[in-house]
């Protein structure tokens, strides 16, 4: 069963899709279950991905990357997440947030921080969410105070991918308190993780995407050069909103990859399992269930690739990105739930791919903005 067929993928993105599939077959699929159970950061697979030029390669050629566009990234994403969501998240988070610097930072910042990530010598992270809130971007409290030619950072961040493993993070911090302009109170900074006053530890073990690692970061009088501000003071909210438009199309790709895996498993199991003198796929109720899964999947995939085009061409990007993210990630939840049911008791065996997929599907409906927030955006930006 070939669900991630290439006909919907623009021609210029098909070669890299093939590269991603071959990489996934060789490096991700065979290690997925072991990495999940061990809950370990897949260091060697990440290195292989860097060597294969499939990690951090959205970075422009000017700074050492391949300059992959959103279509190429989405094509890679679908393939990686189909193979395993936890490993895929680690591969894709290795350059998380870099786009904000290469789009809005200075040449000096790109030379110092972006080039090493493109070369696979460093990895980054994006630190936005806090222990007290992940959804309320204008309510984030971690603060950066200007002090001469430095900023002094105090506060906490939670859920930060690579907060421990990264060489630097892009930090979203409060620099103002203007109640009349809540969207102008935050700024973005580059914070090297070896700076005094930066302390990170892994959050407790997760039940899903266990091959990726997130951190709780504490900033205690952490001083960085003022030149590490990205763009202008007060730009943070807008920079992040723009970044999320691309990110949410990619997260739709997370949902599609996970959904494809769930459907593959359901298809294979139901055509193999014999009861009542026939395979269970001979029951019309099962056939309808499979048909519904395919309907949902194709609807989500069509919407996602349409959103990709809209976002790339600046066509009401926030609306389309939120639509794609919501539909594709909820499709992943729905089809993996149905796939579990078709697996009967075996669905809950730890060794089964469907048990892993079912758990992983719970995450993309939350990260990059919970789907309730996406629905706010869809309603608020409806054409
Ligand atoms: C595996 C994983 C990786 C992550 N990686 C990162 C990362 O690298 N960097 C980073 O900064 N963050 C990261 N996050 C954090 C993620 O973005 C947040 O979890 C997400 O934004 C939701 O925030 P929260 O968990 O604080 O939930 P809350 O904001 O507390 O929301 C809880 C629930 O309340 C409801 N809700 C909240 N607000 C509204 C509203 N306005 N309207 C209706 N309902 C609402 C929703 O049901 C929501 O799910 C990650 C999270 C996970 C799980």
Task: Tell me how far apart the alpha carbons of residues 367 and 289 are, in angstroms, rounded to a whole number.
Answer: 28
pLDDT of residue 314: 80
pLDDT of residue 245: 94
Question: How large is the average pLDDT for residues 357-362?
Answer: 98
The model's confidence at residue 183, banded by pLDDT at 50, 70 and 90, is very high
Question: How large is the average pLDDT for residues 69-98?
Answer: 98
Fold of 124-232: Butyryl-CoA Dehydrogenase, subunit A; domain 2 (2.40.110)
Beta strand 124-127 pairing with 168-174? parallel
Which residue's alpha carbon is nearest to atom 7 within ligand 1?
160
What is the position in ligand 1's atom list of the atom closest to the CA of 206?
1
pLDDT, one tens digit per residue, over 10-65 is 999 999 999 999 999 999 999 999 999 999 899 999 999 999 999 999 999 999 99
Fold of 6-118: Butyryl-Coa Dehydrogenase, subunit A; domain 1 (1.10.540)
Neighbours of 350 (CB within 10 A): 9
- Given 34, 205, 368, 372, which residue is catalytic? 368
CA atoms within 13 A on the CB side of 141: 8
Q: How far is CA 33 from the centre of its chain?
A: 20
User: Residues, the chain, total?
Assistant: 383
Sign of the Cα pseudo-torsion (296, 21, 349, 355, in order): negative
Residue written as tokens 């996934």? 24
The kind and range of the H/E element at 246 are helix 236-272
Task: Tell me how far apart the alpha carbons of residues 31 and 14 are, in angstroms, rounded to a whole number.
Answer: 25
The reply to whether 368 belongs to the active site is: yes
Which residue's alpha carbon is nearest to atom 16 within ligand 1?
367
Which residue's alpha carbon is nearest to atom 36 within ligand 1?
372
Q: Which residue from 307, 352, 351, 342 is spatially nearest to 328, judged by alpha carbons?
A: 307
Q: Domain 238-380's class?
A: mainly alpha
**Average pLDDT, whole number, for the chain?**
97
Please give the distance, rounded to the nearest whole angstrom, from the Cα atom of residue 159 to the centre of ligand 1: 9
Task: Tell me how far apart the alpha carbons of residues 360 and 363 are, in angstroms, rounded to a whole number.
Answer: 6
Q: Are 57 and 102 in contact (CB under 8 A)?
A: no
Residues with Cβ within 8 Å of 197's Cβ and at least 6 positions away in sequence, in order, are 153, 219, 220, 221, 222, 223
pLDDT, one tens digit per residue, over 292-317 is 999 999 999 999 999 999 999 988 99
Task: Tell me how far apart the alpha carbons of residues 155 and 2 are, in angstroms, rounded to a whole number.
Answer: 47
Domain boundaries, the chain: 6-118, 124-232, 238-380
pLDDT, one tens digit per residue, over 144-157 is 999 999 999 999 99
Task: Tell me how far apart the alpha carbons of residues 268 and 283 are, in angstroms, rounded to a whole number.
Answer: 15
Please give the distance, rounded to the nearest whole angstrom, from the Cα atom of residue 125 to the centre of ligand 1: 17
Ligand 1 site residues (CB inside 6 A) read 96, 126-129, 133-135, 159-161, 209, 214, 363, 366-370, 372-373
Question: How large is the average pLDDT for residues 171-183?
Answer: 96
């Amino acid at each position: 069963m070939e669900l991630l067929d290439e006909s919907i993928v623009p021609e210029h993105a098909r070669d890299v899709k093939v590269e991603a599939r071959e990489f996934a077959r060789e490096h991700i699929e065979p290690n997925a279950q072991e990495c999940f159970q061990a809950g370990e950061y897949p260091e060697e697979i990440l290195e292989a991905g860097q060597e294969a030029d499939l990690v951090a390669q959205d970075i422009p050629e000017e700074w050492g990357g391949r300059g992959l566009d959103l279509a190429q990234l989405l094509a890679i994403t679908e393939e990686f997440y189909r193979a395993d969501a936890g490993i895929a998240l680690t591969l894709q988070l290795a350059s998380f947030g870099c786009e904000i610097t290469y789009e809005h930072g200075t040449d000096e910042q790109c030379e110092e921080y972006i080039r090493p990530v493109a070369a696979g010598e460093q990895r980054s992270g994006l630190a936005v969410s806090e222990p007290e809130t992940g959804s309320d971007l204008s309510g984030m409290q971690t603060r950066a105070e200007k002090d001469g030619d430095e900023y002094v950072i105090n506060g906490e961040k939670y859920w930060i991918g690579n907060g421990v493993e990264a060489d630097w993070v892009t930090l979203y911090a409060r620099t103002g308190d203007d109640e009349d302009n809540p969207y102008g109170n935050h700024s973005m900074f580059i914070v090297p993780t070896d700076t005094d006053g930066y302390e990170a530890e892994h959050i407790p073990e997760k039940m899903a995407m266990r091959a990726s690692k997130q951190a709780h970061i504490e900033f205690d009088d952490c001083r960085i050069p003022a030149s590490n501000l990205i763009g202008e003071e007060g730009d943070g909210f807008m920079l992040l909103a723009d970044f999320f438009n691309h990110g949410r199309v990619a997260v739709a790709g997370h949902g599609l990859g996970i959904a494809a895996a769930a459907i593959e498993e359901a298809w294979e199991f139901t055509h193999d399992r014999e009861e009542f003198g026939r395979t269970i796929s001979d029951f019309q109720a099962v056939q309808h269930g499979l048909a519904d899964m395919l309907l949902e999947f194709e609807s989500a995939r069509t919407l996602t690739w349409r959103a990709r085009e809209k976002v790339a061409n600046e066509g009401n990007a926030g609306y389309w990105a939120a639509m794609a993210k919501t539909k594709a990630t909820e499709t992943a939840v729905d089809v993996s739930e149905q796939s579990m049911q078709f697996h009967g008791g075996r669905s809950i065996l730890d060794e089964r791919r469907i048990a892993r997929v079912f758990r992983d599907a719970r995450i993309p409906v939350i990260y990059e903005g919970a789907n309730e927030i996406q629905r706010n955006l869809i309603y608020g930006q409806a054409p």
